[in-house]
Structure 1
Amino acid sequence: MKKMEIIVVGGGIGGLSLALSLHQAGINVRVYETVRDLSPLGVGINLQPAAVRELVDLGLGDALAETGNATQRLNLCNKFGQLIHSEPRGTAAGYRWPQYSIHRGRLQFLLLRAVRERIGQNFRSGLTFTTFEQIGRKVRGRFRDRESGTEVIDEADVLIGADGIHSAVRRQIHPTEAGPRFARQLMWRAAVEAEAFLDGRTMAIAGHFHQRIIAYPVARAASGKRLTNWLCQMTVPDEAPPREDWNKRVTRDKVLAAFGRWKFPWLDMPALIEQSPDIFEFPLVDRDPVSTWTCGRVTLLGDAAHPMQPIGSQAGSQAILDARLLTAALSAISNPVEALQHYDTTRRPVMNDITLRNRSFGPEAAMQLVEERAPNGFVRIEDVISRHELDSIANSFAVAAGLDVETVNNGLSFVHASREST
């Protein structure tokens, strides 16, 4: 019996995780990435224990431990740096797997190395997806070589769009869909070597819905300091910047004008901004949920399927879970069309719910409640918001996202290795 063959469009975290998962399951996979020579760009992200579990199952546990920082605690604070809520994370919270704060580019390279080792020349870079067509029991993908301009055509049983928020695969499935939805907020982000704050394993979020900061270490630096990821986010009256201006460099003065006074006993935000060699600006965007990700033998994954606001450390983790669940469906259901439909109908409603929850500040909603009830600060947080209210906000989101301790620890493995991949 001939093996199923899969084309993956996109070599980001989701696409690479999918390639590794399909290979593990004994399914032939070919990955097409637009960028010819990838470099470890980006800033920090968080991998939840549910996603770490899946990467450990792919044999990447040691590499993750060497590359990332095992986060032990999350602190939510008001705009004065006063503690609203603190909760353990990862193994400190009872998970069998850690939560890793990690540099996005380094994670992508970690995955890329494994992909190249396991599928070799079936990872093809410098080729931009243009269109797909479904012919009988096959789907044909067309790609354009960015250097020569020549067309490359590949045919397989399934094509997966893992090509990000501006997905060309999604655009063909939903040709009349509007562009990304701008939340009228800008984000400034950087990663800089700095002295550890708090215990060196804490993620801190301070502020409220209209203005907030996030800071956490993503790795130890050779200097003995920590490579620290920081984000400043605030509401703006402007329209969304044009796409070509996303991820542009901005001056420190622009960020300091808004956050120059955010200096707390436990974190000197202005100093982090001053020390950062490069600061990048992004619009806060997502897309409205759609009624399907799937068209016959084609479906979507990660940001191509459910681009969401970066609330609750979700996007990278959920892309990895997409990859594992999609692989599980393709392994269990022999008919590829039925497998994709099963993945769509079971996974999409969950992710649509999380996308909408994130627009309401997700598990960080307690910070906005405290701002509304105590805009000038507080003496006792218990006088502002109850422990029950704090816990219910955090727990409801974790359960909805499938990230609670019981679900992660007791769930079965999504993908079982084939004999050929071991």
Structure 2
Amino acid sequence: MTVLIAGAGIGGLTAALSLHAAGIEAAVVESSREIRPLGPARGVGINLQPHAVRELTELGLGEELAAIGVDSVELVYCDPSGRRLFTEPRGTAQGYRWPQYAVHRGELQLMLLAAVRERLGADAVRTGVRLAGFAQDDTQGAVRTELLDRASGRTEQTGAAALIGADGLHSVVRAQLHPQDGALLWSGIRMWRGVTSAEPFLTGRSAVIVRDGDVEMIAYPIGQGRINWVCQVRTGEPGPLAGDAARSRPGALAEVLPYYRDWALGWLDVPGLLAGAEKILEYPMVDREPLPSWGRGRVTLLGDAAHPMYPVGANGASQAVVDARVLAHELAGAADLPTGLARYESARREATAAIVRANRAMHRDGGRTPQELARITAAYRSATGGDVAALNSRASLDPPAPAPADMPTNPTTPWS
């Protein structure tokens, strides 16, 4: 039996690659019928922090990542007139041994998908298949899963050595593990995202954050003459969101442009940037309270399913990548699967909870002066484990030893 991963997002695919590298058989089911480079509902462009770039590089994907990403060199804070308030170097310019890449989320996902199918086999990822439920069979040392084929409507029962819920913000695995979890928590911020064909600004590898009271914009290049932008506007009071209110929807230029019509940075035409997007997505900025535990036995969570966080620290996808590597590292070094999963949760739950809280603090504190911005960014790095020297000197998460005897090991067929 395999370790079954629900969700073929960045975290789920990295988990499959990491488990394979550790000699542990894995397979992935994905509800979407086709994985396309359009970017999922949470946005198109993302930043991969150096700690995530390190892990993907150690998985042998460094050259592929460099080919699709923009090596970021600075983050600039400024006001709507273009006056620079504070600049912080990024990636190797900050002293890390690994870059920070700004990438198109869908292109990164396709890169990971191609690597999974090349290394694990063409059938290692099944699309159009949704995890409908699961039950742990302690007598058999397995997880019984119910999979729904979306095209035919048929369900099948299958066994897995373990189940990893990497199924995102609206996770089926999390909902079954934590039925009292409650609704997503809204910050009061509405977000609009888009990608526009435009010339890079400043160094050509710069990201910018522009603030004006309760209105903010982030923009950065993601390659091929494209600028990814995110607009954030406080439109209500914080509180729980349930159902469709917590999901993304197509956005309208007329809804967002009035907040930015008079901005004049000089080196970036903000109204033109927004107007030039072929498509705009709109969704609420949400997270959840950190869980007291993620999983139990042979079932656990990963990425947004485990620790959804505000996208203010550019850390969500990066933490999913680190989750995946730690998961494989702990399973490879454990005597059995439940012990390895418990060690994984112990290593990652408090660390990611600290990032959820740090993202809230950064969103709340804001910062207006250079001194405040320097203090906030330094505090964020400390709280989120982004210390340059610590990452540069940390031991590799490559597998410590061959997988133990009770693990589902390669090579076998993906669905044995």
TM-score (normalised: structure 1): 0.89
Displacement of 1:413 in angstroms is 1.0
Gaps of 5+ in 2: 403-408, 412-416
> What amino acid is aligned across from residue 175 of structure 2 in structure 1?
R
Equivalent in the alignment of 1:379: none
Gaps of 5+ in 1: 371-383
Displacement of 1:390 in angstroms is 4.0
In 1, are the aligned partners of 2:362 and 2:376 still within 8 Å (CA)?
no
Displacement of 1:404 in angstroms is 1.8
Displacement of 1:257 in angstroms is 1.3
How many pairs were matched up?
Answer: 396
TM-score (normalised: structure 2): 0.91
Displacement of 1:208 in angstroms is 5.4
Q: CA RMSD in A?
A: 2.0
Equivalent in the alignment of 2:12: 15
How far apart are the structure 2 equivalents of 1:333 and 1:206?
A: 47
How far apart are the structure 2 equivalents of 1:77 and 1:407?
A: 30
Q: Which runs of 4+ in 1 moved over 6 A?
A: 417-422
1:146 to 150, 154, 157: 150
How far apart are the structure 2 equivalents of 1:208 and 1:271?
A: 18
Equivalent in the alignment of 2:266: 265
In 2, are the aligned partners of 1:26 and 1:417 still within 8 Å (CA)?
no
In 2, are the aligned partners of 1:75 and 1:204 still within 8 Å (CA)?
yes
- Is 1:161 equivalent to 2:158 in the alignment? no
Displacement of 1:122 in angstroms is 2.0
> What amino acid is aligned across from residue 369 of structure 1 in structure 2?
G
Give % identity. Answer: 42
Equivalent in the alignment of 1:284: 285
Equivalent in the alignment of 1:33: 30
How far apart are the structure 2 equivalents of 1:196 and 1:385?
A: 24
Equivalent in the alignment of 2:393: 410
> What amino acid is aligned across from residue 327 of structure 1 in structure 2?
A
Displacement of 1:418 in angstroms is 7.5
Deviations 1:17-76 (A, max 9, x none): 000000011100010101121111221000011100111111111111111111011111
> What amino acid is aligned across from residue 167 of structure 1 in structure 2?
S
Equivalent in the alignment of 1:59: 60
Deviates more, 1:207-216 or 1:47-56: 207-216
How far apart are the structure 1 equivalents of 2:48 and 2:26?
A: 25
> What amino acid is aligned across from residue 269 of structure 1 in structure 2?
V
In 1, are the aligned partners of 2:86 and 2:374 still within 8 Å (CA)?
no
Equivalent in the alignment of 2:406: none
How far apart are the structure 2 equivalents of 1:35 and 1:186?
A: 26
Displacement of 1:230 in angstroms is 0.3
Change (3 A) 1:327 1:244: same
Equivalent in the alignment of 2:312: 311
Equivalent in the alignment of 1:381: none
> What amino acid is aligned across from residue 68 of structure 2 in structure 1?
T
Equivalent in the alignment of 1:212: 216
Displacement of 1:200 in angstroms is 0.8
How far apart are the structure 2 equivalents of 1:299 and 1:413?
A: 23
Equivalent in the alignment of 2:231: 232
Deviations 1:265-296 (A, max 9, x none): 22211010111111110111111111000111
In 2, are the aligned partners of 1:24 and 1:417 still within 8 Å (CA)?
no
How far apart are the structure 2 equivalents of 1:227 and 1:161?
A: 33
> What amino acid is aligned across from residue 6 of structure 1 in structure 2?
V
How far apart are the structure 2 equivalents of 1:361 and 1:212?
A: 13
Matches within 5 A, 1:248-259: 248-259=249-260
Deviates more, 1:235-244 or 1:69-78: 235-244
> What amino acid is aligned across from residue 137 of structure 2 in structure 1?
I
Equivalent in the alignment of 1:6: 3
Equivalent in the alignment of 2:124: 122
